[in-house]
């Protein structure tokens, strides 16, 4: 087992193992270091020796031994008995005793502790639960990597002394917004990787869906939890049609809709229809409703763009932001014409998305619709230069070449 296949095994295990170690021993930062060392050991040993029968227990054993080694070197005199107890009775094939809770879910709520600022909650959770690198998190925040590294380091120190346990109901509610935002970002990174040779990182989308299902079971009446789950299910249903055999990107309008996962699609559409009928409408529900309208169209030309434009208008009032404006510009262009879409897009010219490859790509698309082939080609070329995703870059270069 090498490369992506090994990463698919290790990535979902990392937050689970980290959750167990933090629950057992506290000391968040030391536990995360131990997990990283265990993952490194697995990446070296497993390709040569094979994956153990119980990968999670193997990682727990190695991680615990790394903790013991650390404590032995740091506090030899004071911690000798503790480190001996940690090692006593451990066996790499021994299964972890169930606690009745999902440790990754508990870890998720710990990372969203109210002692942290919202931005620190998101950054720490993306690192500890999502397994994203500091560089990937920086791109998600549109912030310098050094800033994110400092933010994560401070957040680790802040949560280090807090109990590892699922919070009480009121505290859980106060953390819910950050939890959902983190899961949303983890899913988005898995669905469209910000960098690298692959468009998708299915390990991230699967873990995000698994965790949001857990939150939905905890809070079945919460409309935004259900909305986020519906959004993920509908979006994930399209993944089989998003790439060609060579890994190239296939845009929504050109996808073979027979390849969509009808089970996930049906579950997501049914969930959002039920939720919007009974719960106060929020941004995740609105995004899920937009995805459902796309999902219900048998062909691209059957898409109900006026309804989508109207939903984006509501979304921009409920949760305004540059990415909402970006997506709304496409819908407005489809309904009112490309010039109207370009006018809306121009409102982003002095915001955080200035020069972002997706703004350039949308502008290119609208210019192409308007008949400005030279302008569209230049925007596609510039977008291709700015993206760090290889599949997106190839797609944008192909679009530019078609207009050559």
Find out whether 286 and 318 touch, Cβ atoms under 8 Å.
Answer: yes
Q: Which two tokens stand for residue 262?
A: 């009808």
Averaged pLDDT, 68-88 = 53
Residue 96 has pLDDT above 60, yes or no: no
In whole angstroms, give the CA distance from residue 147 to residue 70.
28
pLDDT tens-digit readout, 2-20: 566 777 778 778 888 888 8
In whole angstroms, give the CA distance from residue 107 to residue 381.
42
Q: Which two tokens stand for residue 260?
A: 């969509």
Helix and strand tally (H, E) in the chain?
19, 0
Residue 89: per-residue pLDDT: 45
In DSSP notation, 133-196 reads: -HHHHHHHHTS-HHHHHHHHHHHHHHHTTS--SPPPHHHHHHHHHHHHHHHHHHHHHHHS-SSB
**139 CB-near residues (< 8 Å, 6+ apart):** 194, 195, 388
pLDDT tens-digit readout, 125-175: 888 887 778 887 887 777 889 999 999 999 988 888 787 888 887 888 888
pLDDT tens-digit readout, 312-330: 999 999 999 999 999 999 9
In whole angstroms, give the CA distance from residue 334 to residue 340.
9
Residue 71: per-residue pLDDT: 63
Residue 91 has pLDDT above 50, yes or no: no
CA 176 → CA 189, 219, 343, 390, distances in Å?
20, 10, 36, 34
Residue 92: per-residue pLDDT: 42
Residue 95: pLDDT band with limits 50, 70, 90 = very low
Residue 86 has pLDDT above 50, yes or no: no
Residue 82: per-residue pLDDT: 44
Find out whether 282 and 318 touch, Cβ atoms under 8 Å.
Answer: yes
Residue 227: per-residue pLDDT: 97
Q: Which residue has the higher pLDDT, 379 or 61?
A: 379
Residue 195 has pLDDT above 90, yes or no: no
pLDDT tens-digit readout, 197-224: 888 888 789 888 988 998 999 889 999 9
In whole angstroms, give the CA distance from residue 32 to residue 36.
6
Residue 99 has pLDDT above 60, yes or no: no
Of 85, 110, 92, the C-alpha closest to 18 is: 110
In whole angstroms, give the CA distance from residue 233 to residue 308.
18
Share of the chain above pLDDT 90, in %: 46
Find out whether 224 and 284 touch, Cβ atoms under 8 Å.
Answer: yes
Residue 73: pLDDT band with limits 50, 70, 90 = low
Residue 87: per-residue pLDDT: 45
According to DSSP, residue 303 is labeled -
Of 339, 290, 338, 337, the C-alpha closest to 313 is: 290
pLDDT tens-digit readout, 245-294: 988 999 999 999 999 999 999 999 999 999 999 988 999 999 999 999 99
Find out whether 189 and 176 touch, Cβ atoms under 8 Å.
Answer: no
pLDDT tens-digit readout, 354-387: 999 999 999 999 999 999 999 999 999 999 999 9
Q: What is the pTM of this model?
A: 0.77
Residue 79: per-residue pLDDT: 46
Residue 196: per-residue pLDDT: 75
Average pLDDT, rounded, for the chain: 86
């Amino acid at each position: 087992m090498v490369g992506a296949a090994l990463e698919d095994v290790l990535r979902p295990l990392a937050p689970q193992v980290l959750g167990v170690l933090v629950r057992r021993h506290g000391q968040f930062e030391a536990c995360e270091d131990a997990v990283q060392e265990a993952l490194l050991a697995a990446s070296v040993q497993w390709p040569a020796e094979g994956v153990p029968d119980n990968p999670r227990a193997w990682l727990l054993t190695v991680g615990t031994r790394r903790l013991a080694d650390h404590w032995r070197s740091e506090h030899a005199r004071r911690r000798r008995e503790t480190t001996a107890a940690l090692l006593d009775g451990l066996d790499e094939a021994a299964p972890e005793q169930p606690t009745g809770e999902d440790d990754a879910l508990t870890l998720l709520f710990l990372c969203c502790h109210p002692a942290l600022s919202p931005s620190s909650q998101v950054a720490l959770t993306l690192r500890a639960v999502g397994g994203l690198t500091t560089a990937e998190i920086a791109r998600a925040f549109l912030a310098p990597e050094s800033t994110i590294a400092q933010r994560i380091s401070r957040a680790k120190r802040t949560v280090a002394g807090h109990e590892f346990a699922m919070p009480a109901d009121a505290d859980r509610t106060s953390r819910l917004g950050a939890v959902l935002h983190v899961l949303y970002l983890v899913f988005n990174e898995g669905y469209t990787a910000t960098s690298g040779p692959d468009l998708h990182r299915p390990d991230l989308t699967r873990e995000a869906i698994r965790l949001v299902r857990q939150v939905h079971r905890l809070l079945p009446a919460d409309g935004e939890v259900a909305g986020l789950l519906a959004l993920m299910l509908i979006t994930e249903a399209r993944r089989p049609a998003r790439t060609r055999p060579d890994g190239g990107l296939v845009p929504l309008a050109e996808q073979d809709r027979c390849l969509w996962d009808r089970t996930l699609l049906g579950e997501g559409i049914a969930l959002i229809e039920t939720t919007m009928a009974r719960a106060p409408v929020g941004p995740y529900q609105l995004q899920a409703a937009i995805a459902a309208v796309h999902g219900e169209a048998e062909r691209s030309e059957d898409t109900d763009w006026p309804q989508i434009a109207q939903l984006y208008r509501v979304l921009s009032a409920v949760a305004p932001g540059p990415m909402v404006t970006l997506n709304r510009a496409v819908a407005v262009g489809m309904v009112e014409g490309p010039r109207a879409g370009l006018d809306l897009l121009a409102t982003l010219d002095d915001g955080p998305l200035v020069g972002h490859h997706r703004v350039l790509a949308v502008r290119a698309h609208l210019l192409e619709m308007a008949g400005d082939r030279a302008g569209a080609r230049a925007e596609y070329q510039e977008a291709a230069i700015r993206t760090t995703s290889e599949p997106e870059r190839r797609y944008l270069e192909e679009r530019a070449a078609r207009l050559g």
